[in-house]
Amino acid sequence: MDNFKKQVALSLVIILGSFLVLGVALYLASLSLKSESDKVLSDKTAIATRTAALQALASFKSDSSLASRYKQAMERLLVPQEKLIEFPRSLEKLARAYQVSESFSFQGAQVAPQGDAAGYIGFSLSAGGTLDNLMDFLKGIEYSEPQFLVSFETFDLSRSGAGYSALINGRVFFR
């Protein structure tokens, strides 16, 4: 029986030792798997970030060509500074065409173009006539040839006898 107890004890030691070795091996494997899974997660996040950056870059490149086309279109809309001398004559011609009396003058100092910003000079315009003729005159300013890019800063319309008068302060833009 003594031999039997030794064999049982030895078997128990071997089984417990095996469980202990298996437990240590599983613990080390779980540590290794955890570090690998953290690395995979980190790599996945880095790939997602790089993919987003590449998509943004591709979008910027396509937007760049679109922006270039818009810039070219804007440059076609803006007259060179030297052409501003034709703006008062263009207004006179439109006023005659729409039977409107007009008085025009440039106001203040011009602001030179800077970088992508257009230059401009202020103007004052007074016009008189029927309401329909005044409206057609203002539309003509907007669509006149050569096309001047104009913004109205202030607009005062009042009844004047049988017609209307408009006092306008604005800007005409140039490149």
Chain-centroid distance of CA 57 in Å reads 15
Same-domain pairing of 67 and 93: no
Same-domain pairing of 166 and 107: yes
* pTM attached to this predicted model: 0.54
**Residue 121 maps to which CATH number?**
3.30.70.60
Please, are residues 173 and 153 in contact by the beta-carbon 8 Å criterion? no
Domain boundary among 77, 96, 120: 77
Domain boundary among 56, 77, 98: 77
Same-domain pairing of 37 and 69: yes
Same-domain pairing of 90 and 162: yes
Same-domain pairing of 124 and 145: yes
Same-domain pairing of 115 and 31: no
Same-domain pairing of 99 and 170: yes
Please, are residues 134 and 166 in contact by the beta-carbon 8 Å criterion? yes
Q: pLDDT tens digits, residue range 34-53?
A: 778 778 787 778 777 777 77
Domain ranges, residue 98? 81-174
Q: pLDDT tens digits, residue range 63-95?
A: 767 777 776 666 667 777 778 888 888 888 888
Closest CA to 149 of 113, 120, 115: 120
- Mean pLDDT in residue range 146-170: 83
Same-domain pairing of 70 and 85: no
When pLDDT is cut at 50, 70 and 90, the band that residue 1 belongs to is low
**Secondary structure of 137-150 in HEC code, one letter for each residue:** HHHHHHHCCCCCEE
Domain boundary among 48, 77, 106: 77
Q: Of residues 175 and 63, which shows the higher confidence score? A: 175
| Predicted pLDDT at 31 | 81
How many domains does the chain fold into?
A: 2
| Predicted pLDDT at 146 | 59
How many CA atoms lie within 13 Å of 12's alpha carbon, on the beta-carbon side? 6
Same-domain pairing of 67 and 99: no
Same-domain pairing of 170 and 93: yes
pLDDT at residue 131 greater than cutoff 80: yes
Same-domain pairing of 100 and 35: no
Please, are residues 124 and 168 in contact by the beta-carbon 8 Å criterion? yes
How many CA atoms lie within 13 Å of 29's alpha carbon, on the beta-carbon side? 6
Same-domain pairing of 154 and 73: no
